[in-house]
Amino acid sequence: MSAAEDTRSNDNIQAEIALLKRQVAACTLILNNEGILGYSGHVSARLPDPNTFVIQPIDTPRSDLKPEDLITMDLDLNILSGPKGEKPPAETVLHAEILRARPDINSVAHFHHDLTNSFTLIEEGDLRPVKNHAIRWRNGIPVHPDPSHVAHKYQGEAVAKTLGECHAMQIRAHGQIVTGESVLAVLTDSVHFVENAVAQYNAQAIGTLKPLSEADMDSFDKEFKRGRHLDKLWRYYVGNLRKAGIIPQNWELG
Ligand SMILES: [Zn+2]
């Protein structure tokens, strides 16, 4: 590769990293505004070097996150760059171990949504796919039995093991983890994961639950265009928060 090509390719990588940081900040602001991710919780994104990712600092308000606040780390939790003196969240290891275990995952959200979590607090409280978009979780929504903060490597590895090949999970009496192929995917899937839990809660309040059947899911899946759907929700929520002045107009978000 010539020196000029090398500079160009480095410029492209830096542009991609900058875009991912803006997307993580925007996704966090949206999930916070939707009441899904509160005063705790975090979104991460894998960077072009697949052994590295970005995540927000531990105490930065989720309602006021900016791309330049984000910390760049490797999967062994070494800080590579970020604002001076800032520390990553205590549960960063869950992001690192899921990204390590699952090369297909490029973004992870962890949040503590109480109504969704209430399904882990009752006997026979399995969260099931009940709304059409919940076909994303047709291969299961595992529940991690240990409600502790995921603060140590062995705990992160255990969480990744519980997730297995699934796309979302609950941590009993604690919160949720939603994973996706991109930050846009994690936004849409987090919204639908909570919608599905609310729908199940409401349905069970009025009668006996009738979850989606395999035939229902096959039928919905046949016509579903995931890429288009992810773009649609991203544009909808980004547009709303731009209008509200929460996402700055000058953040180019892809
Ligand atoms: Zn947590």
Residue at 250 is within a domain: no
User: Which domain covers residue 102, as residue numbers?
Assistant: 17-243
The CA 95 to ligand 1 mean position distance, Å, reads: 11
Residue at 128 is within a domain: yes
Provide mean pLDDT across the span 96-117: 98
- Please state the pTM of the whole predicted model: 0.96
The CA 230 to ligand 1 mean position distance, Å, reads: 25
How does pLDDT run across 167-204, given as a tens digit for each residue? 999 999 999 999 999 999 999 999 999 999 999 999 99
The CA 145 to ligand 1 mean position distance, Å, reads: 13
Which residues contact residue 248 at a Cβ distance below 8 angstroms, ignoring those fewer than 6 apart?
242
Residue at 9 is within a domain: no
Residue at 220 is within a domain: yes
Provide mean pLDDT across the span 153-167: 98
Contact 95, 110 (CB under 8 A): yes
Would you place residue 57 in the very low, low, confident or very high pLDDT band (cuts 50, 70, 90)?
A: very high
Question: What does the pLDDT read at residue 2?
Answer: 75
Residue at 5 is within a domain: no
Residue that has been written with the tokens 């609310």 in this structure: 198
Question: What does the pLDDT read at residue 202?
Answer: 98
Contact 70, 55 (CB under 8 A): yes
How does pLDDT run across 15-26, given as a tens digit for each residue? 999 999 999 999
The CA 50 to ligand 1 mean position distance, Å, reads: 24
Residue at 1 is within a domain: no
The CA 20 to ligand 1 mean position distance, Å, reads: 22
The CA 159 to ligand 1 mean position distance, Å, reads: 11
Question: What does the pLDDT read at residue 44?
Answer: 98
The CA 171 to ligand 1 mean position distance, Å, reads: 8
The CA 135 to ligand 1 mean position distance, Å, reads: 25
How does pLDDT run across 114-135, given as a tens digit for each residue? 999 999 999 988 999 999 999 9
Question: What does the pLDDT read at residue 254?
Answer: 84
- Inform me whether the pLDDT recorded for 8 exceeds 80: no
Sequence-ordered strand ranges (E) for 100-145: 107-111, 143-144
The CA 44 to ligand 1 mean position distance, Å, reads: 14
Question: What does the pLDDT read at residue 203?
Answer: 97
Q: What is the residue-averaged pLDDT of the chain?
A: 97
Distance CA 163, CA 172 (A): 13
Encoded tokens for 68: 């330049």
Residue at 59 is within a domain: yes
Residue at 80 is within a domain: yes
CATH of the domain at 139: 3.40.225.10
Question: What does the pLDDT read at residue 1?
Answer: 64
Question: What does the pLDDT read at residue 125?
Answer: 85
The CA 168 to ligand 1 mean position distance, Å, reads: 14
Distance CA 26, CA 23 (A): 5
| Number of domains the chain contains | 1
